Copies of this chain bind each other. A is one copy, B any other.
Amino acid sequence: MAKQDRAIRTRQTILSAAAKVFEERGYQAATISEILTVAGVTKGALYFHFPSKEHLAEGVLAEQNQKLPIPDRAFKVQQLVDTVMLHAHRLQTDPMVRAGVRLSLDQQAQDLDRSGPFVRWSEVGTTLLEKAKAQGELLPHVTPSETADVLVGSFAGIQAMSQAGCEYQDLPGRVSSLLQHVLPSVVMPSVLASVDITEDRGARVEAELLDHAARQHLAPVS
């Protein structure tokens, strides 16, 4: 393995260990030595990649951004729906995504800038809604950034409610219900009629991405 590949793999091992420990203990109670034990790397390797606990948490938070390869859709509203439903699906299936969302809502992580993920998700949503608006998919009164903020904030709470109630079992259904309640206020009826917001949409988009990666002889994004 090339030296650079090894460094990337070590960094990923450390981040996975940090995600596990942050998810179990919360930011405040998590310790670097526990993350070291779970990762099974040397202290030197860890500090080379992440000089502090804060850097580790920021690394976990940033992982949410690396995983947004939704293919272009003709309707930008569908692309927005796919982004939201895929994120719900990954909360059920991907510990790294789960740890990032939990850190964003960890009120004891006071030295961490927790507004970052909210801001970044709002930017993703605003960009897609601006494109949708330019294509005439939205009702004329809609302000893309305001609608993006409503969706991002609502999603954060609905995932917390689903986690507290049943460890995410009902999350895709709840997110589909959120979209059913919000989209009619912002999307043109003629567009809405063609948009798929059924609750298994996230799983189907994930399957599509994995299939696409396999066809390209690429390793699926882990």
Which A residues fall within an 8 A CB radius of B?
Answer: 25-26, 28-29, 102, 104-108, 114-115, 118-119, 146-147, 149-150, 152-165, 174, 177-178, 180-186
Q: Pick the residue among B29, B118, B147, B174 that contacts A149 (CB under 8 A).
A: B174
Chain B residues within 8 Å of A147, by CB: 181
Docked Cα-Cα span, A161 to B153, in Å, equals 6
Is the CB–CB distance between B165 and A115 below 8 Å? yes
Q: Pick the residue among B104, B118, B150, B161 that contacts A178 (CB under 8 A).
A: B150
Chain B residues within 8 Å of A152, by CB: 157, 161
Instruction: Count this chain's copies in the assembly.
Output: 2
26 contacts between A and B (CB under 8 A): A25-B108, A26-B26, A26-B108, A102-B107, A105-B160, A106-B107, A115-B161, A118-B164, A119-B165, A150-B154, A150-B178, A150-B181, A153-B158, A153-B174, A153-B178, A154-B157, A154-B178, A157-B157, A157-B158, A157-B159, A157-B160, A181-B182, A181-B185, A181-B186, A182-B185, A184-B185
Q: How distant is A219 from chain B, measured CB to nearest CB, in Å?
A: 32
Is the CB–CB distance between A107 and B26 below 8 Å? yes
Is the CB–CB distance between B174 and A161 below 8 Å? no
The listed residue with most B CB atoms (<10 A of its CB), out of A102, A119, A158, A162, is: A158
The listed residue with most B CB atoms (<10 A of its CB), out of A147, A154, A157, is: A157
Q: How distant is A21 from chain B, measured CB to nearest CB, in Å?
A: 13
Q: How distant is A109 from chain B, measured CB to nearest CB, in Å?
A: 10
Docked Cα-Cα span, A180 to B114, in Å, equals 26
Chain B residues within 8 Å of A161, by CB: 115, 118, 149, 152-153, 156
Q: How distant is A13 from chain B, measured CB to nearest CB, in Å?
A: 24
Q: Pick the residue among B156, B178, B183, B186 that contacts A160 (CB under 8 A).
A: B156
Is the CB–CB distance between A146 and B107 below 8 Å? no
